């Protein structure tokens, strides 16, 4: 190298760098990962007149390569910034045209009919009114029809706008539930965890109301399920000896169910589903887990999803 000082003096200097074999091997390996960086040259001091020999240790050699790598990243900073700005512009401008569609899709869910017996069908009405004309009738086991928007309350009753083969209309929400795929339900660990919590919390007399559906509680000890209204069911959970109905619910349903849950060897989402279980039509579209414990009735615990979260909606016995 030719070195010139501030006064015009010029001198020639030769710099020799000795790289140990282990450093060279590390450099080759690192180069295969990050490419071959080019280090900026820094001239030696002007007063060097002899050729010094510089030995690099392993740590120093790897440090130089690492510095070179991050220098390369620094050189890419500006292009990456412009790329990010361009991508952000596309997303924002595209959002103005897609936002209404996205909001509409968030309000659209798939639903199934529940709590209707074989003699009744779910009417799709022209208006959110029980006296309005019917456009279509869904069977008590119908599943997979889509909502169009959020529900509204009219005349003290909640109505949901839905699609039907005869056009859009309104259905009463007390007879529908969010549709859930069986595979999704069996892969969901939350329902089984809820059953374990229910079994444990009932022993300690803890509040378990958060585990249950807001629609109430269905009891299917026979082929004709009985739906307990939500207020009545919550009162029974709080005070099992408050009313004769509460005491009966605990003695005939909740306490035997808790005992079966605690006696079950393994509560598993997949082994707990029986394809041969006899399900009442009213509960056909609720997913369920079977609780099999020696010496206990074959309980079925029914679930539904409320805003994507599982809730216990009823129990029955596999008769």
pLDDT of residue 97 exceeding 70: no
Q: Output the pLDDT for position 245.
A: 87
Helices 255-263, 190-203: inter-axial angle, 10-degree rounding: 120
Distance (Å, whole) CA 231 – CA 214: 9
pLDDT of residue 55 exceeding 70: no
In sequence order, the β-bridge partners of residue 316 are 220, 300
Domains identified in the chain and CATH numbers: 2-75 (no CATH), 110-178 (2.30.30.40), 182-317 (3.10.450)
Pick 282 or 101 by higher pLDDT. 282
pLDDT tens per residue, range 183-195: 888 889 999 999 9
Distance (Å, whole) CA 122 – CA 191: 28
pLDDT of residue 274 exceeding 90: no
pLDDT tens per residue, range 113-167: 999 999 999 999 999 999 999 999 999 999 999 999 999 999 999 999 999 999 9
pLDDT tens per residue, range 291-317: 888 899 889 999 999 988 999 999 998
Q: Output the pLDDT for position 88.
A: 66
* Phi then psi dihedrals of residue 99, to 5 deg: -60, -45
């Amino acid at each position: 190298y030719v070195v010139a000082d501030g006064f015009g003096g010029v001198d020639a200097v030769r710099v020799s760098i000795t790289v140990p074999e282990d450093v060279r091997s590390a450099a080759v390996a690192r180069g295969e990962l990050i490419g071959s960086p080019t280090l900026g040259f820094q001239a030696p001091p002007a007063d060097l007149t002899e050729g010094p020999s510089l030995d690099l240790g392993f740590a120093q050699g790897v440090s130089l390569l690492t510095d070179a790598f991050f220098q390369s990243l620094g050189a890419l900073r500006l292009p990456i910034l412009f790329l990010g700005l361009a991508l952000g512009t596309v997303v924002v401008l595209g959002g103005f045209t897609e936002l209404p569609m996205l909001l509409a899709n968030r309000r659209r869910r798939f639903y199934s009919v529940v709590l209707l017996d074989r003699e009744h069908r779910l009417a799709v009405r022209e208006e959110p009114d029980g006296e309005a004309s019917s456009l279509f009738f869904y069977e008590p086991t119908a599943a997979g029809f889509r909502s169009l928007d959020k529900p509204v309350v009219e005349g003290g009753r909640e109505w949901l706008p839905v699609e039907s083969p005869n056009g859009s209309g309104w259905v009463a929400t007390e007879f529908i539930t969010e549709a859930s795929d069986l595979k999704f339900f069996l892969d969901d660990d939350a329902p089984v965890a809820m059953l374990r919590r229910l079994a444990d919390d009932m022993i300690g007399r803890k509040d378990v109301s958060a585990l249950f559906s807001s629609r109430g509680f269905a009891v299917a000890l026979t082929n004709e399920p009985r739906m307990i209204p939500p207020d009545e069911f919550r009162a029974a959970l709080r005070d099992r000896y408050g009313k004769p109905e509460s005491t009966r619910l605990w003695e005939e349903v909740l306490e035997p169910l808790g005992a079966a849950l605690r006696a079950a060897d393994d509560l598993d989402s997949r082994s707990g589903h029986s394809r041969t279980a006899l399900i009442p039509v009213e509960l056909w579209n609720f997913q369920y887990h079977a609780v099999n414990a020696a010496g206990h009735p074959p309980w079925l615990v029914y679930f539904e999803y409320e805003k994507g979260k599982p809730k216990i909606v009823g129990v029955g016995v596999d008769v």
